[in-house]
C-alpha cells in the first residue's frame, strides 16, 4: 500500500505528522475509501523505515479525528464517520474486486512480487537478468546516436514493419527459421503472445496440454477462460511425446504449449529424438504446438539449441519469442510467428486490447538487433550466465551436499531442484525469506511438492553463495 | 495479406517472377497453409501497383506447379497437392479462427483499418492526430538530450514511479484533480485501461450503461465477456441523468461508462447541471462511473472543460486518460486513477496480460510532461485543431448546405453529423471511399442510422474541403 512514499527526513515537520497527512489526503481523495484496510503498525514502520512508536502516534491522531478506526480482528480501517451518507452510498468495491473474468495471480506469485519490491532480499526468484547484464551502455549509445524519425501515430496493427523485417532476418541467422514479415506479430513480450493465443484461438471447455512443470503452469488465464489444462510429464530431456499421444487419446487436446530450450523452470532441452517424435505426434493428430522460446540463444555450449519451429515442415508450430531474457525485459518486445490468417486474427485482437506496441520500443528493438551490439552482447551474456550457473552449482554442492537432486542446466537462467529432506513447502519459503533470500517454490510452476526454482540470472554474482547458505539454514530448521 | 511487400522494380528479375517467389516462399513456410485464400488478381494488382496481367501470369505459373488452385466461387486458394498427408494432418486453423473468447472487431471497424492502410484516402475516419500535429521535434530533442539511466528490467507493476508522480502533478495543474502516485496505474493507452476495468471488475451477466453514441459502443469486449450493455441517450449536452436513474431501476446497472468533455463521437460536453446530477444519481445508487477522458484539455475556448472526477467528492469515479490525442498515440501511454485496492487488482491483472508498459515510453512520457514543451505544444495544438474544425464546418456549409444537422464541437477532434436525405448507410460509405475519402459510419458508434463521424484532427488541413466535396458527391448518388 505504501510501497513508495517515504517521509521526508529533512522536513521541519515531525515524521508522525507527515504520516498523518499522507493518509488524510488519501482518505479525503477517495483513494482510500471507508473500510479499506491500512497496513499494520509493524509493517508500515518497516516499510517507511521509522520507529513503530512513530506510526503508533500517527495512527492515534488519525483515530482521534475519526478518520480511521481499529477493529479487533480486522486491523486498522478507514472510518465512515466523516462521510455524509444521507444522499447516497458508496460503490461496493469489494464485490468488484472478486467479480472479474480474469482471475488474480495465485497468492505465491503475488507474494514474490510483494517481497521482492518491499524487502532487500537476495533474489533467486524473479525470472529475469540482473540489471548489469543488460546492454545498458549500448542503449544509451543508440538513444543518443540513432535518429528517431517515425511518426508519433499508431503504428501498423502487426507492429512496426521494419522491426518485423529485422526479426525475420534475426530468426533466419540465429535460429534457422524462415519467415516473412507479414507472418510476424510484435507483442508486449512473450507474455502477451501467450495471452493473445489463449484468448483468441481457444474456447471454454477446450482441453489443451502443458508441461508439468512449466512457466505456463503458473498462468491463471486458462482457468479464467474455462480451458482445461492437461499436464504432460517432462524430465531433463523435455516432454515425453508418448504423453502427448495419451493426452490426445484421452482428452482430444486442441493445442500443446511447450517451452523451448532451457525451459523455465527445469532448464531442460528437448532431446532431438523427442523433438522429431513430438512434431510427428502433433502432426498425426493435427494439433498445433505453441512453442515459447525466450531462452534458446542462451546456450553455454558451442551451438545454440534447436527449436521445434526450425524443424516444422508442416507449419503446425506457432512460435513465440522475446527480447526479455537477452536484451531488456522492460522494453516489452516479443513476437509471434504463425500462419497469416492466424496473425491477422491475433492482430485484430491486439488492436482491441491495447492498440499495439510502443513505437519507441519497436524502434529501439530494431536498432539494437540490427546494430553491431547484438552479437558481442549475446556472447558476453552467455559467459556471464555460465559463470553464475557455476557459482550456483558450487554453492549447492557446498551448502546442500546430498540434500538436493538437480540437473545442471546447459543454458538459460534457471535451475530446478528437488529438495530431498522432508519439509513443509510454505515454512521453508517463509524461513528462507526471513534469512534474507527468496526463490520460486516449485508449487507455483508444477503440481509436485518438494521442488524449488533457483534463478541464477537475477542476483548479483557475489551474493549467490550467501543465498544458498541462507537457504540451507532455512532447510535445517525444517527438521 | 500483401499489405507490405512490393516487387523490386530495379531488380533484374521480372516482376511476375518475384510475385511467384513471394508466394512460393510463404506456401513452403507454412505461413500460407493449404486452402488459405490468396487475394484476387484485381486486388493484388492494385496493392502492388502492377498490371493485372502481371499478376495473372504469376498466378498461372503457381497454378501450373500445383501450389495454388482456382475454385469457382471461392477464388484462388493454396493447393494441397504438394503436401504429404500420409503421416498426419494439419491443424484445423479455421475452427481456431472463430473459437476465441475475445470476439473480433466488427466488420466496419476492420474495414476502416484495411482501407486506411491500403489506399490513399483522405482520412476523416481515424481517431487520432495528423502526424505533423504531434510534437515531433520536441521528442527528437528529448531523445538526444535527456539521459536514459533506468534499469532495463521489468519496472514496477503500477508503471514507473516517477512517471506516476509527474502525472499526479499534471492532473493537479491541468485538471484540478488531487491524487497520489499509488492510486495511479499506467496503461497502454485508454484502450487497455477500459479493457482492464471490464475484465477485472465485471462478471458475465452484469449490466452496465454506456452512452449512445460513444466510442465505448464500438468495443466488442462487453459482448465477448457476456456483459449486458444498456444504452443511455445522450445529446449535445451529454448524457441525460434521468436515463441513468431509469437504467438502474430497470437493470440494476453496476457501472456507468461516460466519455468526458468533447466526447467521441458527438463532441459533447456534459453540461454543469447535468454533471452534478450525474454524480448525485450515481452516488444515490452506489454505481461507480468510469470516466474516459482523452480530450478534455483540447478546448477551443478559454478554459478547459471540467471533468466529473474533479467534482467527485465521494470517490465514485474511476478516471481514465491518455496521451494519445495530445502527445503521441504510438507511445501507448494512458492511466487509471481509482481507489487503491482497485489499482492493486488491476495492476495484478496487467502483470498477467503483458508485464507492464515499456520503460522507454514511460521515460519519454515523463520527460515530455515535465519539460517546458508540454504547455506551448498544447496551446499550439488547440489553435491548429480549432482551425481544422473551422475548415470542416465551412466545407460542410459549402458542400452540404441544409443536408446535415450537427453541433459545432468546442474542442476535441470529432464532429458528429446527421445526414438528412434518405440514404443507405453502407452504399454511402462505399461510394465515399470510391470518391477518395473515408469517415466513420455512425453505426460503428451508436444504434441510430443515418449518422456519420468526421474527424478533423487526422487529415491534412488542405484536404478537408476536398473530402467533404467528395462526400457530397457520394451523397448525391444516393438519390
Ligand atoms: C517461458 C516464459 N515465457 C514467457 C515469459 C514472459 O516473458 P516476457 O513477456 O517478458 O517475454 C517468461 C518470463 O519469465 C518465461 O520464462
Ligand atoms: C474515447 C476514447 N477512449 C479511448 C480511446 C483509445 O485511445 P488510446 O488507447 O490510444 O488512449 C479512444 C481512441 O480513439 C477514444 O476516442
Any idea what the CATH number is for the domain that residue B457 is in?
A: 3.90.1150.10
- Residue A319 belongs to some domain of the structure: yes
- Residue A1 belongs to some domain of the structure: no
pLDDT at A2: 41
**Helices assigned H by DSSP within B252-339:** 272-285
- Residue B165 belongs to some domain of the structure: yes
Q: Could you say which ligand is closest to the alpha carbon of residue A125?
A: 1
pLDDT at B109: 94
Q: Provide the phi-psi class of A355: left if phi over 0, else alpha when psi is between -120 and 50, else beta.
A: left
Integer Cα distance of A391 and A380 in angstroms: 17
CA distance B380 to chain A (A): 17
pLDDT at B70: 85
Residues of B in contact with A202 (CB under 8 A): 96, 99-101
Q: Provide the phi-psi class of A216: left if phi over 0, else alpha when psi is between -120 and 50, else beta.
A: alpha
Query: What are B290's strand-pairing partners?
Result: B257, B318
Which among A91, A128, A178 has the least Cβ separation from residue B316?
A91
Chain A residue nearest residue B131, CA to CA? A151
* CATH code (residue A90): 1.10.10.10
In terms of domains, do B280 and B401 share one?
no
B4 CB within 8 Å of a chain A CB: yes
C-beta of B267 in contact with ligand 2 (< 6 A): no
C-beta of B294 in contact with ligand 2 (< 6 A): yes
pLDDT at B340: 94
Domain count along chain A: 3
In terms of domains, do A331 and A394 share one?
no
**Helices assigned H by DSSP within B420-463:** 425-434
B432 CB within 8 Å of a chain A CB: no
In A, residues 251-290, which contact B (CB 8 Å cutoff)? 254, 280, 283-288
Distances A420 to A110, A390, A423, B260, B366 between C-alpha atoms, Å: 27, 21, 9, 60, 50
- Residue B3 belongs to some domain of the structure: no
pLDDT at B268: 96
Integer Cα distance of A174 and A260 in angstroms: 15
In terms of domains, do B284 and B194 share one?
yes
Integer Cα distance of A185 and A351 in angstroms: 11
- Residue A406 belongs to some domain of the structure: yes
Per-residue pLDDT of chain B (479 residues; tens, 9 = 90+): 345 788 998 898 999 999 999 998 888 888 898 888 899 898 899 888 899 999 999 999 998 888 899 887 778 999 876 667 778 888 999 899 999 999 999 999 999 998 998 888 999 999 999 999 999 999 999 999 999 999 999 999 999 999 999 999 999 999 999 999 999 999 999 999 999 999 999 999 999 999 999 999 999 999 999 999 999 998 889 999 999 999 999 999 999 999 999 999 999 999 999 999 999 999 999 999 999 999 999 999 988 789 999 999 889 999 999 999 999 999 999 999 999 999 999 999 999 999 999 999 999 999 999 999 999 999 999 999 999 999 999 999 999 999 999 999 999 999 999 999 999 999 999 999 999 999 999 999 999 999 999 999 999 999 999 999 999 999 999 87
Compute the distance from residue A186 Cα to the ligand 1 centre, in Å: 15
- Residue A141 belongs to some domain of the structure: no
Sign of CA dihedral B33, B35, B41, B44: negative
In terms of domains, do B246 and B202 share one?
yes
C-beta of A440 in contact with ligand 1 (< 6 A): no
Structure confidence by residue, pLDDT tens digits, A201-242: 999 999 999 999 999 999 999 999 999 999 999 888 999 999
Chain B residue nearest residue A135, CA to CA? B152
In terms of domains, do A220 and A312 share one?
yes
CA distance B60 to chain A (A): 22
Residues of A in contact with B283 (CB under 8 A): 87-90
Compute the distance from residue A191 Cα to the ligand 1 centre, in Å: 6
B351 CB within 8 Å of a chain A CB: yes
In terms of domains, do A241 and A368 share one?
yes
In terms of domains, do B234 and B363 share one?
yes
* Averaged pLDDT score across all residues of chain B: 94
CA distance A451 to chain B (A): 23
In terms of domains, do B244 and B313 share one?
yes
Show Cβ contacts of residue B441 under 8 Å, excluding neighbours closer than 6 positions: B108, B425, B426, B428, B429, B451, B452, B453
Show the low-confidence residues of chain A (pLDDT under 50): 1-2
Which of B176, B280, B315 to mutate: most A Cβ within 10 Å? B315
pLDDT at B82: 61
Burial A49-68 (b: 16+ CB within 10 A, else e): ebeeebbebbbebbeeeebb
- Residue B318 belongs to some domain of the structure: yes
In terms of domains, do B336 and B400 share one?
no
* CATH code (residue B225): 3.40.640.10
Last residue of a domain, one of B337, B372, B407: B372
A21 CB within 8 Å of a chain B CB: no
Asked whether B166 and B366 are in contact (CB, 8 A), the reply is: yes
pLDDT at B304: 79
Residue A29 to residue B195, Cβ atoms within 8 A: no
Cα angle B310, B313, B319 (rounded to 5 degrees) comes to 45
Helix (H, G, I), strand (E, B) or coil at B39: coil
Chain B residue nearest residue A189, CA to CA? B354
Asked whether A153 and B129 are in contact (CB, 8 A), the reply is: yes
Q: Give one DSSP letter per residue of B68-92, joined into a string.
A: EEEETTTEEEE-STT---TT-----
Integer Cα distance of B438 and A17 in angstroms: 59
In terms of domains, do B359 and B382 share one?
no
Integer Cα distance of A391 and A405 in angstroms: 17
Last residue of a domain, one of A341, A372, A403: A372
pLDDT at B81: 64
Overall pTM > 0.90: yes
Residues of B in contact with A256 (CB under 8 A): none
Q: Which domain holds residue A44?
A: 15-97
Asked whether A162 and A366 are in contact (CB, 8 A), the reply is: yes
pLDDT at B83: 66
Compute the distance from residue B236 Cα to the ligand 1 centre, in Å: 48
Last residue of a domain, one of B325, B342, B372: B372
pLDDT at A29: 80
In terms of domains, do B366 and B239 share one?
yes
In terms of domains, do A92 and A154 share one?
no
- Residue A3 belongs to some domain of the structure: no
Which among B102, B135, B179 has the least Cβ separation from residue A199?
B102
Helix (H, G, I), strand (E, B) or coil at B192: helix
Integer Cα distance of B139 and B144 in angstroms: 9
Q: Give one DSSP letter per residue of B135-183, joined into a string.
A: -HHHHHHHHHHS-----SS---TT--HHHHHHHHHHHHHHH-----GGG
**Helices assigned H by DSSP within A295-413:** 340-354, 359-370, 374-399
Residue A355 to residue B191, Cβ atoms within 8 A: yes
From A113, A185, A189, give the residue whose CB has the most ligand 1 atoms within 8 Å, as the site to mutate: A189
pLDDT at B75: 87
pLDDT at B86: 78
Amino acid at each position: 500500500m505504501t510501497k513508495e512514499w517515504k517521509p521526508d527526513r529533512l522536513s521541519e515537520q515531525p515524521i508522525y505528522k507527515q504520516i498523518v497527512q499522507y493518509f488524510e489526503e488519501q482518505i479525503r481523495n477517495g483513494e482510500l475509501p471507508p473500510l479499506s484496510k491500512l497496513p499494520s503498525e509493524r509493517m508500515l514502520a518497516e516499510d517507511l523505515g521509522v520507529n513503530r512508536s512513530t506510526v503508533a502516534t500517527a495512527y492515534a491522531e488519525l483515530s482521534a479525528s475519526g478518520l480511521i478506526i481499529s477493529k479487533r480482528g480486522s486491523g486498522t480501517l478507514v472510518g465512515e464517520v466523516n462521510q455524509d451518507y444521507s444522499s447516497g452510498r458508496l460503490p461496493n468495491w469489494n464485490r468488484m474486486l472478486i467479480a472479474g473474468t480474469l482471475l488474480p495471480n495465485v497468492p505465491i506469485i503475488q507474494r514474490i512480487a510483494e517481497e521482492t519490491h518491499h524487502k532487500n532480499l537476495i533474489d533467486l526468484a524473479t525470472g529475469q537478468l540482473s540489471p548489469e547484464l543488460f546492454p545498458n551502455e549500448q542503449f544509451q549509445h543508440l538513444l543518443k546516436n540513432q535518429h528517431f524519425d517515425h511518426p508519433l501515430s499508431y503504428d501498423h496493427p502487426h507492429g512496426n514493419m521494419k522491426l518485423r523485417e529485422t526479426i525475420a532476418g534475426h530468426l533466419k541467422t540465429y535460429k534457422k527459421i524462415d519467415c516473412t514479415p507479414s507472418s510476424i506479430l510484435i507483442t508486449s513480450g512473450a507474455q502477451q503472445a501467450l495471452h493473445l493465443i489463449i484468448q483468441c484461438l481457444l474456447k471454454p471447455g477446450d482441453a489443451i496440454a502443458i508441461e508439468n512443470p512449466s512457466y505456463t503452469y503458473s498462468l491463471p488465464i486458462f482457468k479464467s477462460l474455462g480451458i482445461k489444462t492437461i499436464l504432460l510429464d517432462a524430465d531433463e530431456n523435455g516432454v515425453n511425446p508418448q504423453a502427448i499421444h495419451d493426452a490426445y487419446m484421452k482428452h482430444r487436446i486442441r493445442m500443446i504449449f511447450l517451452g523451448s530450450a532451457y525451459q523455465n523452470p527445469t532448464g531442460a532441452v528437448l532431446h532431438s529424438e523427442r523433438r522429431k517424435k513430438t512434431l510427428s505426434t502433433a502432426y498425426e493428430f493435427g494439433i498445433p504446438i505453441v512453442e515459447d522460446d525466450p531462452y534458446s540463444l542462451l546456450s553455454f555450449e558451442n551451438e545454440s539449441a534447436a527449436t521445434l519451429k526450425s524443424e516444422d515442415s508442416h507449419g503446425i508450430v506457432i512460435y513465440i519469442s522475446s527480447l526479455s531474457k537477452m536484451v531488456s525485459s522492460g522494453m516489452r518486445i516479443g513476437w509471434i510467428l504463425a500462419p497469416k490468417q492466424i496473425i491477422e486474427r491475433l492482430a485484430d485482437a491486439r488492436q482491441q486490447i491495447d492498440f499495439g506496441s510502443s513505437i519507441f520500443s519497436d524502434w529501439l528493438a530494431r536498432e539494437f538487433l540490427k546494430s553491431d551490439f547484438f552479437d558481442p552482447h549475446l556472447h558476453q551474456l552467455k559467459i556471464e550466465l555460465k559463470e553464475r550457473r557455476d557459482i550456483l552449482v558450487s554453492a549447492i554442492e557446498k551448502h546442500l551436499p546430498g540434500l538436493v537432486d538437480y540437473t545442471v542446466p546447459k543454458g538459460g537462467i534457471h535451475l530446478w531442484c528437488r529438495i530431498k529432506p522432508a519439509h513443509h513447502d510454505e515454512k521453508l519459503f517463509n524461513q528462507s525469506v526471513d534469512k534474507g533470500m527468496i526463490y520460486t517454490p516449485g508449487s507455483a510452476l508444477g503440481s509436485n511438492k518438494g521442488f524449488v526454482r533457483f534463478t541464477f540470472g537475477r542476483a548479483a554474482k557475489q551474493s549467490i553463495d550467501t543465498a544458498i547458505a541462507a537457504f540451507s539454514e532455512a532447510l535445517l530448521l525444517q527438521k
